[in-house]
Structure 1
């Protein structure tokens, strides 16, 4: 494989990373690579990062002592987030996404035709995703606004409860069966997503919530950035039963690069070997099939193996897949083809 294989990635957090930083000009920082991050224009070009789901994540408020939730330590009980500050954060990040588009850094895509056109033109294809829907009101009026702004994917919860459902904690080891699932408002949200053509992401939701979505939704079951619980027993990962349900729905699972969701010991260590990523891919392919697995890096939202480092290191994983025995056709499906086929069935209207 002489040419880099383009990667369409299931999840990154660069918008929130830039928007919550103290960098004075986030657009220039993205264009030039002058701010420490996993995804920027130079790194994307170096690693074959061709696009993906760009998450809008609204952080929890400060704790009573004035501190923010710890970064990679993962707060065990993030504070709930109210509607008004969540909407303000979401608007700020979506504005940044469109300023990046105006600067020529990427193209905001509402359909797979637009994704393919952007990739063919050498532009990063960005699909707007909402990670945790605290910015959406119970009447779902803001959902219509977000859809008009390009929203095509959302996760009802982050690992934090809201009016729509309940999220899993980050403790380790643990089961994803940690509490209730969707509320009545959450069921209405899933129904609205099905009607509009918005992907429903099951990463971060409780196992009960997963099965609630499976009951309500008419669409495929998708976890954009989760791994295999049998290998790494984190509540963020998928059980054998959940993987079977994803396969039965012709859904999708994206490999999360976060070391604490990869390693059997759950440790957050950069000296994590790429081999464990391949173990998860092997298990995913065995469980759901070659056409239902992709990549969901969690760039700019998690600690990565040093061998990958950032989006610039994506071809290291591609090369490891090849050495592991994956053929070029399979690698292309895992790198971008499966995501595009899934999105075509969900968001194209």
Structure 2
């Protein structure tokens, strides 16, 4: 079975919510659950060998706008979050990740060598990612501590503003050029990530923020879970100009399974054929080359195509890619090789 390294998932969010409901998140992951998309049995069934596992602080005031008669929608950005309670929640997520590692349910990885070793050993390879940097202070002291604890990837913003920059809204049809980019604190954050060897993720940042990061970093540009705006004009997708810049940097874009970013009408409807997912891969390969395309499912953080269903359904996408002509080394690159190349570069492993 083809092994997949997933560039983005929200399994820690699902487990955090389950713990709030009184359940043991370690047992939920290890033994399996009828909820959400990822647990160990389903990961093993689908060939999901590991991934970037997000620490994400929920916004209680996010109210998704229903599409109008013409299909349009534009959801206002949630309000900015306070740092102290955000840090508390981030540490709760990290605690679940550490407890899972101590239980043997997965292995927390800080290098590509550790990821590859976990895959060889048949253990889920988890890498900590921060989706939106609300837990981090402007002086970046928390960044140093989180890095020491295993954080190896972050997105400066989610779809809301913070002290580091501005995110794109849930909106269709809409350009990703929706507001300002990085703040001065955000510029310092990107430079610090380059120094520490932390991947900077460009998914969900405004187009101006994208170009701000591109002008600062000397690392390949990466969007861990984004799709082509040319196929689905939602604000969260990337324009061809952005894709071309990612290719020029020898970077990567990973396919997001969120149906609102896959469907031409931008609707949250799980009736999305596998051929539509392959069509997005084809477009990305056409703009980025085979070395610049990977998978970033957004499992446990979005509505995914019904044909995929959950992590066990990954094998169906792999089969669809094979039918479309992606085989051998090319398929290996999309499923895991390209992520390992990018992480090796971002983490300055040579």
TM-score by length of 2: 0.95
Match of 1:11 among 8, 11, 17: 8
The alignment partner of 2:172 has SS state of: coil
Distance 2:178 2:209 in 1: 10
Cα drift, residue 224 of structure 1: 0.3
**Residues 50-100 of structure 1: CA deviation (Å, up to 9, x unaligned):** 00100000112x44xxxx656999953212110001000100000000111
Distance 1:54 1:283 in 2: 26
Contact 1:72 1:302 in 2 (8 A): no
Structure 1: where are the runs of 5+ without partners? none
Contact 1:299 1:311 in 2 (8 A): yes
Distance 2:182 2:163 in 1: 9
1:34 to 2:33 alignment: yes
Structure 2: where are the runs of 5+ without partners? 68-73
Distance 1:248 1:315 in 2: 31
Matched residue, 1:177: 177
1:320 to 2:317 alignment: no
Matched residue, 1:164: 164
1:46 to 2:38 alignment: no
Structure 1 residues 256 and 58, CA gap change in structure 2 (3 angstroms):
same
The alignment partner of 1:253 has SS state of: strand
**Residues 88-116 of structure 1: CA deviation (Å, up to 9, x unaligned):** 01000000001111111110000000000
Distance 1:72 1:90 in 2: 30
**Residues 207-252 of structure 1: CA deviation (Å, up to 9, x unaligned):** 0000000001111110000000000001110101100000000011
Contact 1:172 1:233 in 2 (8 A): yes
Matched residue, 1:121: 121
Matched residue, 2:237: 237
User: Within 5 Å, which residues of 2 pair with 1:1-349?
Assistant: 4-21=1-18, 22-60=21-59, 62-63=60-61, 69=63, 76-349=76-349
CA RMSD of aligned residues (A): 1.5
Cα drift, residue 139 of structure 1: 0.2
Cα drift, residue 328 of structure 1: 2.0
**Residues 134-191 of structure 1: CA deviation (Å, up to 9, x unaligned):** 0000000000000001000000000000000000000111000001000000000000
**Residues 311-343 of structure 1: CA deviation (Å, up to 9, x unaligned):** 101010000011111122211110001000111
**Residues 268-290 of structure 1: CA deviation (Å, up to 9, x unaligned):** 11111011111110000010110
Runs of 4+ aligned structure 1 residues displaced above 2 Å come to 68-77
Matched residue, 2:70: none
Distance 1:17 1:71 in 2: 23
Contact 1:252 1:292 in 2 (8 A): yes
